[in-house]
Chain A
Amino acid sequence: MVSPNTPETPGDAAAPSAAPRSIHDVVIRLAGNSQDGIQSVGGFLARLAGRSDQDVMTYMTIPSTISGGPSIFQVRMGTGDILSSGDRADILVAFYQHSYDAHISSLRPGGVLLYDSDHVTPVEGDNRFTQIAVPITSGTVEAVGGAGKDKGKNIYILGLIARVFDLDVQKLAALIKERFGGKNEDIVRNAMLAFDAGYAWPQNNLHDLFYRFEAIDLATRASGRPQVTMDGNQALAYGLLAAGVRHGAGYPITPWSSIMETLRTELPKYGGLFVQCEDEIAAISTAIGFSYTGHLAITGSSGPGLSLKMEALGWATMAEMPLIVVNVQRGGPSTGMPTNVEQSDLLQAIYGSHGDTPRVVLSPKNVEDCFYIAMEACRIARTYSTPVIILSDMALASRIEAFDEPDFPKLMVDPKADLSDRGADFKPYPLDAITRHAPPGSKIGSGKYPTVTGLEHDELGHPTGSSKLHTQMTAKRREKIKKLGASLPAPELNGDAAGDVLLVTWGSTWGPALEALKRINTAGVTGGHLHLRHIHPLPDGLEDIFNRYRKIVVAEINDEGLYGFGQLAMMLRARYANPAIVSVTKTDGLTFKISEIVAGVARQLQSAHLDATLSVAQPSALAKK
């Protein structure tokens, strides 16, 4: 029983005729309009998966207009590692004719179309899919009552999905109550009425669609900590909090804004503050000002905002001030495609300022890694007294994943500023050591107080025009970053340790590349996958790894440029001068599909065999046997 108002007892009256079929994972695409609450259905499914120790990954498009318009939410949930949100869907829920028209091509052969029979007329006799007409709108109106309002049809469809996949109804009901509980009691009751109506949709109409996810091997969840579900921007913000960041400044821009919103809300609880500034330049300046007082601070933005911050970022390199700069990449250049994904800010991040400014650039590989990369960035910024840029992207920012709760007692970093007295020999810019600034408030034994400056300077921070000092100080700033490079762990290498091809990726391309590697290996091509989280400086030892493969294929979401290479590929070619390094790029504003990476590798290897595997359409796991 789901609610006291349940009109019938779905568990009994409409009991499934057969035992559920076991499946590994499923991709569900909900297509409707942005006001239909399909995001919240996705959110419920994602959180349920997290609570059930299943893996989950979501993908959503946000309309670039302010309100209304078509919107989708895709959720892939299942057992074991879910690495991408899935190339194509197993189930398409179409709320409107335009949803059907635009997304039917995303359904795998043998997949299931659930359409609102009140709004959608599918192509008749299309036997590629199982077509199921559901009166979503009228069913919801009938269940909830009232003046013909169809509010709640998202929850109706959630009920139907819960039925089809034998989901834990108790847990879902709890999630619905948590979500709507703060509101009017009627809202919870109406939501449960819609849910129950969807759940009780007569079984015989469902063509025996009845599945259950494979059992979890709990040994693979050895952390002993429960799973949490959140998006990448949240994970990044909380990573900064765990790393002891208590100060920040920013200016709103999509898709960075939700990080600053989270920090503005959370930081006061931790005794910190986040300042909304008048512009991007003021934001980075205020953040560097915080860092100068001994509190490692964060600023952030998306592409255009990072460009505006560049002069100040150059100052932070010159003055050797620690700082975290988050750049949630979107489609560029200029205003570009604000709600699409692209990895086209890499060279800007590494080389964007005037002058010689050795930079640290990191990039998270998935939502969970947004948390850990934030902590890593803070460690590096403090240890090397340097700005660190985190390159996230729109895909990571907006999708929800489940991951093990971090081991907070072990990870927490004390945010206290070091205002202790400095000795008489204190120098802000020693040539023989890494800079450790004395924040204002700390007494200097010599009585000579330091100046932090963007002018070339001597060891005490006095301006200098000396060619010798400029050479020495440039080397000082460069050598500490090289030292960091030498200290970095070997990057993640998956698959064969040598062979025909090495896939190289950075950022959110990690998951699709890993899945692509499986398909490449399955097709009999030997190969591995190398993923870079530390992009600048690069970790040691890549040269030897590259030498073990016939082709090194760098897959990234940016343009091939004038010379035929994406941004990371260009850097790797410049660094290793290895002609085996080639590029697979794209600029459609979407994350990589597995098939696109496999096709790119096939093209680069000129492998007819791989090509052939691509032409075989992958049927849906739901296809009738």
Chain B
Amino acid sequence: MSSPTLFSPPTPAITTAVPLTKKILTADHPTWCPGCGDFAVLASFYRVLEKLQYPHEKIVTFAGIGCSSRFPYFVNTHGGHYIHGRALPFAAGISLGNDDLHVFVFGGDGDGFSIGGNHLVHTARKNVNLTYVIMDNSVYGLTKKQTSPTSPIGFKTKTDPTGAIDQPINPMRTLLNTGATFVARSHATQVNHMVEMMTRAAKHPGFSVVEILSECVEFYAGAFDSSIPRKGGTWSLIQEKKHDGTPEDADRHDVTDEVAAFKLAGQAWPGSFGVFYENNVRKTKNVLEAELVTKARERTKNATDLQLLQATFAKMR
């Protein structure tokens, strides 16, 4: 390739411009249990794509292993179902392989915080341009009720029959610590909020992650009742700063303030929902790699591949 912008292969001419609708985006019927929170996440994702109207062929839906990771089968886009915990590095390959794509990764708390924990940290710190949605039900559902990394102490599972004894992960603190440049939290009972969070995450340049509390009605019913008003819980929405100079604005949350974000993350259960942190300054890995290419191409004076190899071998004579 001799062109300096190589991560974006030429886009084929769009011959049809049919707007994306839920009908077009619907694929296989979900295999989830009736009442599962994941249905609402799926419905919200359709709405996000309807809003954003990306070219159909440029949307990629990817996942690892778990109940929620069946997601790509239910969305009619390019996509795939990878191995347990490793969807993020795969998706990093997709994003860096073709910068033109809109990459969405879905998974659960086991996939993201347990077996894939290391990948979460490194994909986030590299700020690879993609959106990761963690559907957290605080239990291993697909394998029928074992303790998950977010299961609270005392929760009885088949692997902790007398109740979980290990300190669970605080997802928001963990996500902030990874260096992710967009961190938000939502709830599967709040469709409009999910649509807003996922839309903002999709538009964010860089690694954006949304944790969605999504109840497993089969193995952990009522897990998130304390944040559902109609079940007597409290829905505490983060009020973001509007920079309008009003006195009440001083108490609102500055999403660019990392320390404030950590304070929010340290709130007592069930905590707050909304955007915790957003950093639009840090360059994405996609941009940094493209800059390396541009510089390297300049140094080679845009030589062809053949000329480059021949010149390298001439030095080894």
Q: Which residues of A contact B (CB under 8 A)?
A: 47, 50-51, 226-230, 234, 238, 241-242, 246-247, 249, 266, 268-273, 275, 277-279, 281-283, 285-295, 297, 311-312, 315, 319, 405-406, 408-409, 412, 415-417, 419-421, 438-444, 447-455, 462-463
Q: Please, how many angstroms separate the alpha-carbon atoms of A234 and B80 in the complex?
A: 34
Please report which residues of chain B, range 209-263, place their CB below 8 angstroms from some CB of chain A when the two chains form the complex. Answer: none
Chief secondary structure at chain A's binding surface = mixed
Asked if A286 meets B92 with Cβ closer than 8 Å, knowing A440-B60, A444-B57, A462-B73, the reply is yes
> Which residues does B use to contact A, with CB under 8 Å?
1-4, 6-7, 9-12, 14-15, 24, 27-28, 56-60, 72-73, 76-83, 86, 88-98, 100-101, 118-119, 121-122, 289, 292-293, 295-297, 299-300, 303, 305-306, 308-310, 312-313, 316-317
Contacting pair B89 A281 (CB below 8 A): yes
Q: Which of B58, B93, B312 contacts A249 (CB 8 A)?
A: B93
Residue of B nearest to A225 (CB): B313
Within the complex, what minimum Cβ distance (angstroms) separates B299 from chain A? 7
A463 touches which one: B73, B76, B310 (CB < 8 A)?
B73
Chain A, residue nearest B293 (CB): A268
- B contact residues around A242 at 8 Å (CB): 309
On whether the beta carbons of B93 and A416 are closer than 8 Å, the reply is no
Neighbouring A residues of B299 by C-beta, 8 Å: 269
Is the pair A454, B81 in contact by a Cβ cutoff of 8 Å?
Answer: yes
A440 and B57: CB pair below 8 A?
yes
Say whether A453 contacts B93, CB under 8 Å: no
Contacts of A282 in B (CB 8 A): 86, 88-89, 92, 118-119, 122
Please indicate the chain A residues that have their CB under 8 angstroms from the CB of B295 in the complex.
268
Q: Which of A229, A270, A438 contacts B1 (CB 8 A)?
A: A270
Q: Considering the chains assembled together, what is the distance between the CA atoms of A51 and B89 in angstroms?
A: 44
B3–A285 CB distance below 8 A: no
Report yes or no: B297 in contact with A271, Cβ–Cβ below 8 A.
yes
Q: List 23 A-B contacts (CB under 8 A).
A: A246-B6, A247-B97, A269-B300, A271-B2, A273-B96, A273-B292, A281-B86, A281-B119, A285-B82, A285-B83, A288-B93, A289-B96, A290-B93, A293-B93, A295-B97, A405-B313, A421-B15, A439-B98, A441-B11, A443-B12, A449-B56, A455-B81, A462-B28
Shortest distance from the beta carbon of A449 to any chain B beta carbon, whole Å: 5
In the A-B complex, the 10 residue pairs with the smallest Cβ-Cβ separation, listed nearest first, are: A289-B93, A293-B97, A271-B6, A440-B78, A282-B89, A268-B296, A278-B122, A285-B89, A452-B80, A286-B93
A228–B317 contact, CB under 8 A?
Answer: yes
Q: A278 to B85, alpha carbons, bound, how many Å?
A: 14
Q: Is the CB of A290 within 8 A of B96?
A: yes
Cα–Cα distance between A447 and B55 once the two chains are bound (Å): 12
Task: Report the Cα distance A283→B312, complex, angstroms.
Answer: 27
- By a CB distance below 8 angstroms, the chain A residues around B80 are 292, 319, 451-453
Task: Tell me the bound Cα distance from A506 to B98 in angstroms.
Answer: 38
List 15 additional contacts besides A271-B2, A278-B119; criterion CB under 8 Å. A241-B309, A247-B97, A249-B89, A271-B4, A273-B292, A285-B86, A290-B93, A292-B80, A312-B86, A319-B80, A419-B12, A448-B27, A449-B27, A451-B73, A462-B28
In the complex, what residues of A have CB within 8 A of residue B86's CB?
281-282, 285, 312
Which A-chain residue is minimally distant from B316 (CB atoms)?
Answer: A228
Bound-state CA distance A271–B3 (Å) is 7
Interface centre among A420, A441, A463 (most CB of B within 10 A): A441
Of the candidates B7, B15, B58, B308, the one whose C-beta lies within 8 Å of that of A440 is B58
Q: Are B93 and A279 in contact (CB under 8 A)?
A: no
Q: Closest approach, in angstroms, between the C-beta of B255 and any C-beta of chain A?
A: 27
Complex formed: what's the CA distance from A293 to B86 in Å? 17
Residue pair A293, B293 in contact (C-beta under 8 Å)? no
| A172 smallest CB distance to B (angstroms) | 14
Which has the most chain B C-beta neighbours within 10 Å: A241, A282, A283, A408? Answer: A282
Asked whether A293 and B98 contact (CB < 8 A) given A269-B308, A453-B81, the answer is: yes
Interface centre among A241, A271, A311, A416 (most CB of B within 10 A): A271
In the complex formed, the residue of A with least CB distance to B312 is A238
